[in-house]
């Protein structure tokens, strides 16, 4: 067989493969499920994000935490992250459990760090299993959690103690003023104050949750 015949055979094979690939792609397109088309008019209507009693709770929290931000109905997964390594992922059962879990209010610093969450249940109340789940979950993340009723809202000082560990300020001890330049002393004092705030926060939160159960 001379060279020209080999060229003809090669071209025929190439054309056959290209034709076959084109037909296969066309076949795949016919099997693809078409994307749903958006309707001309969505069968939806706007509704309020908060109920009337939730609006009262929002104003109360905004006044109590005037130096913080109060957000509404933020999913818990929005401000938590798995502690496992990225390649290990998160247990699908946990993902399913946490999907849709949110609190009525989320209190955070102006920088976006969440310090506490508050639920304000409606007429149906809040199941104890749901409350226990959120309380344990957020506690493990170092985030305060409590439930409030619009008919019995805690005092602002109680809430700030439970979420921030704030307590009545005391006059500095004499030796604290005379050792102001000692860096080791200042570091120890800062660590002591952090522990004191954490202990005050834990105690105040426990008392608050015991009252609202």
Q: Which residue segment(s) compose the domain that 116 sits in? A: 52-211
Residue 68, domain member (yes or no): yes
In the chain, the number of structural domains is 1
Instruction: State whether residue 191 is helix, strand or coil.
Output: helix
Is the pLDDT at 3 greater than 90? The verdict is no
- The answer to whether 165 touches 197, Cβ cutoff 8 Å, is yes
- The answer to whether 208 touches 154, Cβ cutoff 8 Å, is yes
pTM of the model: 0.70
Tell me what the pLDDT averaged over the chain comes to.
Answer: 80
What average pLDDT does this structure show over 175-196?
56
Residue 19, domain member (yes or no): no
Residue 179, domain member (yes or no): yes
Residue 143, domain member (yes or no): yes
Residue 146, domain member (yes or no): yes
**For 43-90, what is each residue's pLDDT tens digit?**
999 999 999 999 999 999 999 999 999 999 999 999 998 777 655 666
Predicted confidence at residue 175, as pLDDT, reads 44
**For 95-120, what is each residue's pLDDT tens digit?**
777 888 999 999 999 999 999 999 99
Which uninterrupted H or E stretch holds 102?
strand 102-108
Residues 6+ apart with CB under 8 A from 160: 64, 65, 166
In sequence order, the β-bridge partners of residue 70 are: 107
Residue 165, domain member (yes or no): yes
Residue 26, domain member (yes or no): no
């Amino acid at each position: 067989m001379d060279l020209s015949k080999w060229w003809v055979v090669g071209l025929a094979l190439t054309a056959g493969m290209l034709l076959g690939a084109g037909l296969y792609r066309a076949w795949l397109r016919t099997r693809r499920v078409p994307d749903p088309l958006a309707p001309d008019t969505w069968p939806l209507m706007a509704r309020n994000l908060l109920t009337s009693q939730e609006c009262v709770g929002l104003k109360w929290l905004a006044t109590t935490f005037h130096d913080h931000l109060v957000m509404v109905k933020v999913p818990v997964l929005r401000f938590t992250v798995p502690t496992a390594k990225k390649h290990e992922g998160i247990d699908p059962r946990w993902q399913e459990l946490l999907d849709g879990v949110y609190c009525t209010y989320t209190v955070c610093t102006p920088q976006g760090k969440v310090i506490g969450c508050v639920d304000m249940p409606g007429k149906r109340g809040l199941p104890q299993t749901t409350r226990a789940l959120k309380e344990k979950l957020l506690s493990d993340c170092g985030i305060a959690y409590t439930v409030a009723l619009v008919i019995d809202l805690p005092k602002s000082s109680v809430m700030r103690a439970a979420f921030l560990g704030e307590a009545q300020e005391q006059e500095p001890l004499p030796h604290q003023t005379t050792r102001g330049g000692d860096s080791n002393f200042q570091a120890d004092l800062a660590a002591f104050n952090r522990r004191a705030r954490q202990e005050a926060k834990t105690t105040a939160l426990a008392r608050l949750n015991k009252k609202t159960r």
